[in-house]
Amino acid sequence: AIQWQNDHRAYLREARRKQVPIVQYHYQSAGSLFDRHRYQKGACVLKMLRSTLGDEAFFQGISRYLHQHEYQPVEHHDLRLALEAVSGKDLKWFFDQWFRSPGHPVLDIRQVYDSAQQRVNLIVRQQQDTTTKPVYRLPLTVDVHHGGGKVTTHQVEVTDALDTLRFQAAERPQLLNFDAEKVLL
């Protein structure tokens, strides 16, 4: 967890001055490929991919990828195809937004409790410049902490620039833990 936090911070520091895709075909020098976008952001993206697929499918897919392409040149879509074959999931959206697009989501998250509906609304606004960066599809976990130590866990997906996630709550929650697994970049 500490290594992920260090990778996360290192990438975000570099992202203040430049934002480029992890996968680039045109670059000024070979040395420019050894940056925090390829390594630290890449590590964070792989952690999100592992969370999205689950450990079993992720590691089976990595094994398949390594064995199929042993001693061969590869491209990022070879990894995608191996993971899709094992998981049965379409991952083109994930690879397009995280490997082929620059930047990362910038989120504004607000919570509104509706006592009449006994519901808490979590309003998520993606604030990144969507003329050069995608509107991200973000599968994640939200933990709702109710009174008496009760916690309900919800697997959700943010898909729009402005999304509202709704959770039942008889009273105002003590805490809403957005991205409870702490995998989102």
Note the pLDDT tens digit of each residue in 69-83: 999 999 999 999 999
Among the listed residues 78, 77, 79, 73, the one whose alpha carbon sits nearest the alpha carbon of residue 53: 79
Among the listed residues 104, 107, 109, the one whose alpha carbon sits nearest the alpha carbon of residue 177: 109
Q: How far apart are CA 184 and CA 175, in angstroms?
A: 19
Q: How far apart are CA 169 and CA 147, in angstroms?
A: 10
Is pLDDT at 172 greater than 80 in this prediction?
Answer: yes
Residue 54, phi-psi category: left (phi > 0), alpha (psi -120 to 50), beta (remainder):
left
Per-residue pLDDT tens for 2-29?
A: 888 999 999 999 999 999 999 988 878 8
- Tokens for 137? 């599809």
Among the listed residues 173, 113, 184, the one whose alpha carbon sits nearest the alpha carbon of residue 143: 173
Q: Is 173 exposed, middle or buried (0-12, 13-18, 19+ CB in 10 A)?
A: buried
Over residues 153-167, the mean pLDDT reads: 98
- Span of 26-30, 89-93, 146-150 with lowest mean pLDDT: 26-30
Is pLDDT at 32 greater than 80 in this prediction?
Answer: no
pLDDT at 156: 98
| DSSP-assigned beta bridge partners for residue 122 | 111, 165
Q: Cβ contacts of residue 69 below 8 Å, gap of 6+?
A: 78
Question: Which letter does DSSP use for residue 37 in this model?
Answer: T
Mean of the per-residue pLDDT values for the chain?
95
pTM of the model: 0.91
Among the listed residues 127, 105, 121, 124, the one whose alpha carbon sits nearest the alpha carbon of residue 162: 124
